[in-house]
Amino acid sequence: MDRRSLRLLHAFLMLSLHLNPALGFISGVGDANVSEAYDWADVVNRLSYLTSLSLSSCDLPPIAPSTQTHFNYSKSLTTVALSDNHQNSSIFGWLLNFNTSLVEIDLSSNQLKGSIPDALGKMNSLESLNFDENQLEGSIPKSFGNICTLSSLSLSNNRLSGQLVEFISILSGCAKDSLEMLDLSLNQITGSLPDFSTFSSLKEIYVGSNNITGTVPEGIRNLHQLEAFDVSNNTMHGVVTEGHLSNLSNLWFLDLSLNSLALQLNKEWVPPFQLRIIYLSSCKLGPRFPSWLQTQWNISILDISDTGISDKIPKWFVELPPTLQYLDKLEKLNCIMVSEGRCRLGPEAGFIQ
């Protein structure tokens, strides 16, 4: 955005303030560059009826010190979506001025550093918090367990550390009854998977690409609402059986890849779920081809590479549904297709066409 466009944007915000103090939302700037609009928060502070602020990907500069002075802050602001900008940790203090009204905060892809402030746990209306792709460190504040409305907590791709069981223990306050999505992937978290069974509303768990060890606890089967489960790219081991999966009727996304896990499922077993995305690369499935896959008629992505399968490709596999869009590295099965869905071992391995 050139200087003229910048002035126009600033004029729009100021005009909104003077002519329409009851302005309900600011959004739609798109990819505009407002890197010199240092007083943007001052303008927002004066919009006492503002309910939604959405200025993602527009080069928005950090909060200026002047914004910390007292204003009659909006008691109606429910949404702050400022992803992919230049916000640093000074924005936390500004957010706390709206601690009774905020429902959704998205500060992903910014420049947040250090620890997450404990005071954020005082936001008693907060439902969704997204701090993905920042440089946050340490654990989560103990106060987060007291946010009884929290349904989505996304902290992927930071520098968080500590034992996973400590994270879950913190969230085991009243948040355990409301939390539906937890994303702690791409951090430096250690330890083993804890018992999630008290989180009755949990639908999505993403803890891939950490330093998690141990086995998959059978208590995972008690998460009857679970839809997505990702523990990929850790150092987990042990066996996964139908006992782990038998109650997960809503499961559609499963990623156990890049671990040392073995799937030992009865060849007669019929899963209660219909998976759409399956990543099992580097798990132990073979040597026989996993027959339970023939019951999955909604698959769009399947990765069973490097899983120790040295079996013939069965005819039913060739007849998998047309929803299958991506079949990763089947050449690592060391098979090539021949007539009637059979394959033979050999160096000419390739994709199924």
pLDDT in tens, 280-308: 999 999 898 899 999 999 998 899 989 99
Res. 345 pLDDT band, cuts 50 70 90: very low
Res. 18 pLDDT band, cuts 50 70 90: very low
| pLDDT number for residue 310 | 85
Minimum mean pLDDT range among 2-11, 134-143, 215-224, 239-248: 2-11
3-state SS of the chain is: CCHHHHHHHHHHHHHHHHHCCCCCEECCCCCCCCCCCCCHHHHHHCCCCCCEEECCCCCCCCCCHHHHCCCCCCCCCCEEECCCCCCCCCHHHHHHHHCCCCCEEECCCCCCEECCCHHHHHCCCCCEEECCCCEEEECCCHHHHHCCCCCEEECCCCEEEEEHHHHHHHCCCHHHHCCCEEECCCCEEEEECCCCCCCCCCCEEECCCCEEECCCCHHHHHCCCCCEEECCCCCCEEEECHHHHCCCCCCCEEECCCCEEEECCCCCCCCCCCCCEEECCCCECCCCCCHHHHHCCCCCEEECCCCCCCCCCCHHHHCCCCCCCEEECHHHHCEEECHHHCEEECCCCCCCC
Between 149 and 325, the higher pLDDT residue = 149
Q: What is the pTM of this model?
A: 0.86
Q: Which two tokens stand for residue 228?
A: 């997505």
| pLDDT number for residue 331 | 47
On whether the CB atoms of residues 41 and 13 are closer than 8 A, the answer is no
Res. 39 pLDDT band, cuts 50 70 90: confident
Res. 16 pLDDT band, cuts 50 70 90: very low
Decide if pLDDT at 341 tops 80.
no
Domains in the chain: ranges and CATH: 3-345 (3.80.10.10)
| pLDDT number for residue 20 | 45
pLDDT in tens, 188-238: 999 999 989 899 999 999 999 999 999 999 999 999 999 999 999 999 999
pLDDT in tens, 262-285: 999 998 999 999 999 999 999 999
> Cα separations (Å) of 166 from 163, 191, 194, 276, 302?
5, 9, 9, 32, 33
Integer Cα distance of 317 and 322 in angstroms:
12
| pLDDT number for residue 313 | 80
Between 21 and 82, the higher pLDDT residue = 82
